[in-house]
Chains A and B, each alone.
Chain A
């Protein structure tokens, strides 16, 4: 066989043709107003300009089944496609307002909640929303024992004495149950539709329910939008629910495009091809703020970045010593850390993020006092310095690079007489020692499991984080144990605020924690976008948006 030059030339010719064909995009960018002259290809892609919203987000969806989903994007999707018994107002998480339930009564002992459903709510197939759908949805959540099912752990039973009434019986008083019910996990699905597609809510639902595949491509809810499709890793598409009982949303179609890289999101936003860039970071803000075609939303997230010691002297060593723990709190340069975080980041007083019930204002915690830190160390017997390792997961989460802050902490503590060595670990590996309680001193984060201050009881003895610092009822003092038990059952709002104040007071003086900061969030918005409101629970309510 002879090797001819012709194949090479031919390939060259093909390549040139393809290149010419490929250059110059054939479809006008989605954000631009349509011009008078349209080519055939523009007409093909016309939907992009007709009431379509394009949102760029780093997709973290594992499932769109409300009983299994717990990530960021599913929470946005569920807010649009489903309704819950109660919800939050558009821009805050401090109070709970009616959604599917028009009103509710709480029994005197705080264990029985009776909800009366509002009239008129219908699913996207036209069927009315009834109490038995609520019972089905809640039972299904509990029995599938998926990721979000822990939210239902205080629910003993849910019943529907009639089609308009739902009775929720708890295992014990749970002051946060209403806040938990806002979660997408408690979305009310149409029992008829879900069962028809393999859904089950009985005790064996974990193995008997096969509706996930269907729910990943369809929604059976009463929200303003319907899930049209989900192409994993590419995009999720919502379309307006024609049967929605409330006011129709302005945008006919909402497309969530998976753009994993924040820099790419920014480039697309600037090019006008997307309307919202969800994952921007603080260092991208400067150039966007000077761009007249783009608006920037800067707000406060509810993530908490903190340091933790270990209450077990055999593991924690010096970091089990209350004097050393306090020294850490006084050695940190909180203002410097806050500036490093950038944006709207704040310094919380203690282990309760700003914005939650009872949380102190920013900067109400200990102020930096190097001399105090040094004298505390000396008192603890480390006047000549304290050699220690700071463990942390080596990753960037929500724009926060842990390596950067670990270095800052190291610098701050070293000024007070510590001698810190950094001990980064790959996330899954570091998480293991943190979770097992074998980590003496670490830098970690906490995302609220639900938007109620009660979640932060997890930092107290026997809580999730408490256990990771080996802080249990065995080695905790009476004061904090009593406080913890009171907080768990108190339902009166002002009494709760007072108790959480006491919790912060305690943790500022004692305990194995030091708060670092609460990061801000940055979202880029196209210039013609109206109605954007940020809510920490669901990030963005797309039904409020218009162009």
Chain B
């Protein structure tokens, strides 16, 4: 079917999917044996019935659970994600504040990881079993096996504290004002504002966490690229292409790389979603105010509105990346277009 129809259909299906996500998130977070009262009120406040009653009334916790869900869904339909119990601000505002930081970090990490991974995987496949290949395989193994928090602390210690090559934790230096907010992505906003000092500073702060976060992705993509390329290069049509006299470059790009890209694109898409959802440790160590930390705090304090808001946002991100990956399949693989 024409691609636009396909995209439209997928997007429409997203809506019931998101509602389903809220239902699951709601059920799971309420199934946990715990009470937001315990999580959010101090020890003495918790034993004062007046304070507890006021708290429950404020957050609608005194209503029966199904009613709480209906209230949530009704508000959701109006675009109101409720207020976070922990931050006491609208969840939408919290997401607006914390999501761009994670998107910036994850995007930088995936760019770094994919580009480096592709290059290393390609080289490794082309010069198979050479020293280069062995070196790359060791490095990629290192990337996928090292615990990310250990890598992060090590990187901070060596490159920031000892060598002074990179900036420290946080998104900007202390005392440096961020540019006027348009997207929330400091790099983009700095470019839009023409503020080159902030741009350089933001990039300097982005470098280390992005590289550390991208280490796993690099390793993963290297391995997938390598194995996909090796498989494709072993195909008959590649031999035919060489035999025909096609220049190596054309063969590699038009035939080999393009066909190898399908599994690679899958992994990149999947990794991006994972990166966006799984940055807690990096955000913690690099003091990066992102959605990972927000989600962690929300879940440990049984902050139901925040939990559901974050679940939906992450689900939405996965849905969109999956859609983009599927669209890329269309572009890459003519066989899918023939239907």
| A435 in contact with B46 (CB, 8 Å) | yes
B28-55 at interface with A (beta carbon < 8 Å): 32-35, 38-48, 50-51, 54
Q: Could you say which of B54, B176, B249 contacts A206, with CB atoms under 8 Å apart?
A: B54
| B160 in contact with A23 (CB, 8 Å) | no
CB-defined contacts of B94 to chain A, threshold 8 Å? 232
CB-defined contacts of B175 to chain A, threshold 8 Å? 30, 45, 47-48, 52, 255
| A44 in contact with B111 (CB, 8 Å) | no
CB-defined contacts of A213 to chain B, threshold 8 Å? 89
Known contacts A22-B203, A234-B170; A267 and B249 CB within 8 A of each other = no
Most A Cβ at <10 Å: residue of B206, B257, B285: B285
Interface string of B191-203 (1 = CB under 8 A from A): 0000001011101
| A233 in contact with B97 (CB, 8 Å) | yes
Most A Cβ at <10 Å: residue of B87, B174, B261: B174
Is B11's beta carbon under 8 Å from chain A?
no
CB-defined contacts of B335 to chain A, threshold 8 Å? none
A8 vs B121: C-alpha distance when bound (angstroms): 14
| B293 in contact with A18 (CB, 8 Å) | no
The distance from the CB of B272 to the nearest CB of chain A, in whole angstroms, is 16
CB-defined contacts of A212 to chain B, threshold 8 Å? 88
Q: Could you say which of B34, B112, B284 contacts A261, with CB atoms under 8 Å apart?
A: B284
Q: Could you say which of B39, B115, B157, B254 contacts A11, with CB atoms under 8 Å apart?
A: B115
Is A145's beta carbon under 8 Å from chain B?
yes
| A22 in contact with B204 (CB, 8 Å) | yes
| B207 in contact with A264 (CB, 8 Å) | no
| B34 in contact with A147 (CB, 8 Å) | no
Interface string of A257-300 (1 = CB under 8 A from B): 11111011001101101100000000000000000000000000
Known contacts A25-B167, A62-B87; A428 and B35 CB within 8 A of each other = yes
Is B72's beta carbon under 8 Å from chain A?
no
Known contacts A23-B165, A26-B200, A260-B284; A428 and B32 CB within 8 A of each other = yes
Is B145's beta carbon under 8 Å from chain A?
no
Interface string of A215-236 (1 = CB under 8 A from B): 0000000000000000111110
Interface string of B65-107 (1 = CB under 8 A from A): 0000000000000000000001111000010011000000000
Interface string of B287-309 (1 = CB under 8 A from A): 10100011000001110000000
The distance from the CB of B120 to the nearest CB of chain A, in whole angstroms, is 12
The distance from the CB of B215 to the nearest CB of chain A, in whole angstroms, is 15
Is A162's beta carbon under 8 Å from chain B?
no
Is B58's beta carbon under 8 Å from chain A?
yes
| B197 in contact with A145 (CB, 8 Å) | no
| B45 in contact with A428 (CB, 8 Å) | no
The distance from the CB of B112 to the nearest CB of chain A, in whole angstroms, is 7
| A264 in contact with B35 (CB, 8 Å) | no
A44 vs B201: C-alpha distance when bound (angstroms): 11
Q: Could you say which of A15, A260, A267, A426 contacts B112, with CB atoms under 8 Å apart?
A: A15
Q: Could you say which of B87, B115, B170 contacts A15, with CB atoms under 8 Å apart?
A: B115
CB-defined contacts of B44 to chain A, threshold 8 Å? 150, 449, 458, 464
Is A54's beta carbon under 8 Å from chain B?
yes
Closest Cβ neighbor of A18 among chain B residues = B203
| A259 in contact with B287 (CB, 8 Å) | yes
Closest Cβ neighbor of A234 among chain B residues = B289
Is B117's beta carbon under 8 Å from chain A?
no
CB-defined contacts of B165 to chain A, threshold 8 Å? 23-24
Q: Could you say which of B43, B170, B173, B258 contacts A45, with CB atoms under 8 Å apart?
A: B173
Number of A residues near B (Cβ < 8 Å) is 74
Is B24's beta carbon under 8 Å from chain A?
no
Known contacts A11-B115, A260-B293; A147 and B45 CB within 8 A of each other = yes
Interface string of A55-67 (1 = CB under 8 A from B): 0000000110000
Known contacts A15-B111, A27-B201, A44-B176; A5 and B249 CB within 8 A of each other = yes
Most B Cβ at <10 Å: residue of A3, A26, A63, A258: A26
| A26 in contact with B48 (CB, 8 Å) | no
Is A427's beta carbon under 8 Å from chain B?
yes
Q: Could you say which of A1, A2, A45, A260 contacts B287, with CB atoms under 8 Å apart?
A: A260
A63 vs B34: C-alpha distance when bound (angstroms): 23
The distance from the CB of B46 to the nearest CB of chain A, in whole angstroms, is 7
The distance from the CB of A464 to the nearest CB of chain B, in whole angstroms, is 5
Closest Cβ neighbor of B249 among chain A residues = A5
A273 vs B174: C-alpha distance when bound (angstroms): 9
CB-defined contacts of A153 to chain B, threshold 8 Å? 48
| B157 in contact with A267 (CB, 8 Å) | yes
Is A149's beta carbon under 8 Å from chain B?
yes
| A146 in contact with B51 (CB, 8 Å) | yes
Most B Cβ at <10 Å: residue of A1, A145, A235: A145
Is A148's beta carbon under 8 Å from chain B?
yes
CB-defined contacts of A18 to chain B, threshold 8 Å? 203
The distance from the CB of A516 to the nearest CB of chain B, in whole angstroms, is 18
| A264 in contact with B169 (CB, 8 Å) | yes
Most B Cβ at <10 Å: residue of A30, A40, A153, A268: A268
Closest Cβ neighbor of A5 among chain B residues = B253
CB-defined contacts of B45 to chain A, threshold 8 Å? 70, 147-150
Is B161's beta carbon under 8 Å from chain A?
yes
Interface string of B305-325 (1 = CB under 8 A from A): 000000000000000000000
| B169 in contact with A268 (CB, 8 Å) | yes
CB-defined contacts of B171 to chain A, threshold 8 Å? 234
Q: Could you say which of B86, B89, B156, B207 contacts A19, with CB atoms under 8 Å apart?
A: B207
A12 vs B156: C-alpha distance when bound (angstroms): 25
| B54 in contact with A449 (CB, 8 Å) | no
The distance from the CB of A421 to the nearest CB of chain B, in whole angstroms, is 20
The distance from the CB of A55 to the nearest CB of chain B, in whole angstroms, is 10
| B38 in contact with A147 (CB, 8 Å) | no
Known contacts A48-B175, A150-B48; A233 and B197 CB within 8 A of each other = no
Closest Cβ neighbor of B171 among chain A residues = A234
A48 vs B168: C-alpha distance when bound (angstroms): 15
The distance from the CB of A15 to the nearest CB of chain B, in whole angstroms, is 6
Known contacts A3-B258, A24-B165, A150-B44; A432 and B35 CB within 8 A of each other = yes
CB-defined contacts of A26 to chain B, threshold 8 Å? 197, 200-201, 204
Is A306's beta carbon under 8 Å from chain B?
no
| B161 in contact with A150 (CB, 8 Å) | no
The distance from the CB of B307 to the nearest CB of chain A, in whole angstroms, is 12
By Cβ-Cβ distance, the 6 closest A-B pairs, closest first, are: A428-B34, A233-B289, A22-B203, A48-B175, A145-B54, A449-B44
5 further contact pairs, Cβ within 8 A, besides A24-B164, A45-B197, A267-B160:
A22-B203, A206-B54, A261-B285, A428-B35, A435-B46
Can you list 9 contacts pairing A with B, beta carbon distance less than 8 Å? A5-B249, A23-B166, A30-B175, A145-B54, A212-B88, A259-B169, A271-B161, A431-B39, A464-B47
